């Protein structure tokens, strides 16, 4: 069952050991961590013509990018305010 953590939805996926070893090897060959590599593969699939939601992908990606920028700005402003308060 997926759950939310820090603005992301987290999925736990069980992969059989021999294919998991291939995943780790493939991720390393692409200079990536296995979880990041799986995330990239999922994103590529969702954007592909094979996906039933490909027509919605760009809108979802843009919304996720905006949420990330908004989150970054909020953190930056919070740190800026904290450092100003400490400097008083």
pLDDT at 81: 67
Tokens of 37: 């590599």
CA distances from 4 to 7, 37, 47, 53 (A): 6, 20, 23, 22
* % of the chain beyond a pLDDT of 90: 69
Q: Which residues of the chain have pLDDT under 70?
A: 79-81, 83-85, 87-88
Domain boundaries, the chain: 1-51, 56-88
Residues 39, 51: Cα–Cα separation, whole Å: 15
pLDDT at 21: 98
The tokens 């990330």 sit on which residue? Answer: 68
pLDDT at 84: 63
Q: 44 has which bridge partners?
A: none
pLDDT at 73: 85
pLDDT at 7: 82
pLDDT at 74: 82
To which H or E segment does residue 64 belong? Answer: helix 54-86
To which H or E segment does residue 39 belong? Answer: helix 34-47
């Amino acid at each position: 069952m997926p759950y939310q953590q820090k603005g992301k939805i987290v999925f736990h996926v069980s992969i059989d050991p021999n294919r998991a070893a291939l995943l780790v090897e493939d991720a390393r060959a692409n200079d990536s961590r296995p979880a990041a590599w799986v995330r990239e593969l999922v994103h590529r699939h969702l954007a592909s013509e094979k996906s039933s939601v490909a027509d919605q992908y760009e809108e979802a990606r843009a919304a996720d990018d905006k949420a990330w920028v908004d989150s970054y700005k909020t953190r930056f402003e919070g740190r800026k305010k904290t450092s100003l308060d400490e400097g008083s």
